[in-house]
Amino acid sequence: MADLVESVLQKAAEKESKYKSIEVHKDIDLDIDAGNLLAVDPNPLDAKKLREKRDEYLISLARDNTQLLINRIWELPVERVEGTIVAKLPAPKTILPREKPIPKPKPETKWQQYAKLKGIQNKKKARKVWDDEIKDWRPTWGYQSRVNDELNEWVLEVPANADPYEDQFGKAKKAKTERVAKNELQRMRNIARASKLKVPGVGLTPTDTPSKDHLSKALTLAKKSTASVGKFTDSLPKEKPVKNTGKKRKFEPNVGDMSKEKSAQLDILSKMAKAGPTVNVTKAMKQHMLEEEQQRQKTNSERPKKAKSIKKSIKRKQGKDTKRGGGGKGKRRGRK
């Protein structure tokens, strides 16, 4: 029995002497972050050795520390991927600064807010739909979709009771541009709301069946939309003066709420102290209008007008289910 133990021990000793040891002794354990393949040695350096035999000392130091790091990595769970052995690294421990700030969640659009409130869920639309007419699949939206069919028609019906000389092609084109413009405006409003800017009223949205209220609002707006803000616009005979338009001025009592006055004064001070960039609205506006003009010219030059001689006269189906637009601020989602 004793012989057996002795021989086993001897064998082990022989094996050990054959290879150099992988054991490394350090007074203080290394701080190892395996996720970053990083080891930090908190032990004090041997200053004398470092000065005299720098490279030899550093290589021995590096060897010991690498050995400890490798020992740790070899303890990690391994798997075989495509014939090579890989170790699964833990997540990095050392917290490093980010490259860019944490992304903020995208602000909800007005529609998304409303849908959430009402519990309306998105129905996933198929990317393509079957078109019976051309016996092929076509995109549901975008380029070559049926949405733009109206613009590519070589012939259009003239609705009953419509002016026969009215340009139906131009009408369709204009309707499309206005839908696009409305969408763009709503996008802008969403951005304004998200960046906590003042969201102005929508003005007037397009409706097929404008109400009396809608028309009177349009009239007042049109009258005011001159360079002199409607000062010289003639009024119709028997026209009633417009009520409730414009801003109402409010005067605070001379003596009264101190806290309100304090907050108002502080508000002014903070506004003065704010060093934000001021946007030259007029300039931006001008630029925008110029661009728009250029765009229009470009599209006009690209697409010469089509011949509009042949017109059928079948009444166009009009949406009766369109919600009557009231004068309120509610969202109007009339179908066109």
Partner 1 sequence: MNHFMSSGCHPLKCYAALYCRRKPKTQRSKRYLESRESKLTENTKTAMFIRGGRTSEVVSQTLKDMYFLKKPDAVMFQKKNIMRPLEDQTSLEFLSDRNDASLFMFGSHQKKRPNNVVIGRFFDFHVLDMVELGIEKYKSMQEFHVGKFSLGSKPCLLFAGEAFENEPEYQRLKNLLIDFFRGPVIENIRLAGLEHVLLFTTLDGKIYLRNYKVQMKKSGSRTPRIELEEIGPSVDFSMRRTRLASDDLYKRARQQPKQAKPKKVKNINRDPFGSKLGRIHMEKQDLDKLQTRKMKGLKRKTSDNTDKKVEAKKVR
CA 13 distance to own-chain centroid: 68
Beta strands at 156-157 and 311-312: parallel, antiparallel or unpaired? parallel
Comparing CB distances to partner 1, the nearer of 63 and 128 is 63
**How many amino acids of this chain bind partner 1 (CB under 8 A)?**
85
Q: Which stretch binds partner 1 (CB under 8 A): 123-131, 147-155, 223-231, 314-322?
A: 223-231
Q: How many CB atoms lie within 10 A of CB 34?
A: 19
Residue 39 to residue 199: CA distance in whole angstroms: 55
Does 319 participate in binding partner 1 (rule CB under 8 A)? Answer: no
Question: Contacts with partner 1 in 36-65 (CB under 8 A)?
Answer: 36-45, 47, 50, 54-55, 58-59, 61-63, 65
| Nearer to partner 1 among residue 112 and residue 205 (C-beta) | 205
Report d(CA 178, CA 186) in Å as an integer: 12
Angle, helix 168-194 to helix 110-118, in steps of 10 degrees: 80
**Interstrand relation of 156-157 and 136-139 (parallel, antiparallel or unpaired):** unpaired
Site for partner 1 in 152-191 (CB under 8 A): 177-178, 181-182, 185, 187-189, 191
Which one, 67 or 216, has the nearer CB to partner 1? 67
> Does 226 participate in binding partner 1 (rule CB under 8 A)?
yes
What would the two tokens of residue 266 be? 């502080």
Which residues are CB-contacts of 189 (< 8 A; sequence separation ≥ 6)?
110, 199, 202
Q: How far is CA 203 from the centre of its chain?
A: 25
Question: Of the two residues 36 and 322, which places its CB atom closer to partner 1 in the complex?
Answer: 36
Contacts of partner 1 in 231-260 (CB under 8 A):
none
Q: Specify the residue, 16 or 261, whose C-beta has the smaller distance to partner 1.
A: 16
Nearer to partner 1, 8 or 87 (CB): 87
* Residues of this chain, 72-111, that bind partner 1 according to CB under 8 A: 73-74, 78-79, 81, 84-89, 92, 94-103
CB-based contact 203:221 (threshold 8 Å): yes
Instruction: Return the number of the residue (101 or 253) whose C-beta is nearest partner 1.
Output: 101
Which are the contacts of 154, defined by CB distance < 8 A and separation ≥ 6? 306
Least CB distance to partner 1 at residue 278 (A): 9
- x/- contact string, 269-288, with partner 1 (CB under 8 A)? ----------x-x--xx--x
Q: Which of 70, 151, 155, 264 binds partner 1 (CB under 8 A)?
A: 70
Within 13 Å and on the Cβ side, how many CA atoms surround 271? 6
Site for partner 1 contains 69 (CB under 8 A) = yes
CA distance 24 to 70: 11
Q: What is the C-alpha to C-alpha distance for residues 336 and 319, in angstroms, rounded to an integer? A: 7
Among 197, 219, 264, 290, binds partner 1 (CB under 8 A): 197
In the complex, minimum distance from the CB of residue 259 to partner 1, in angstroms, rounded to a whole number:
31
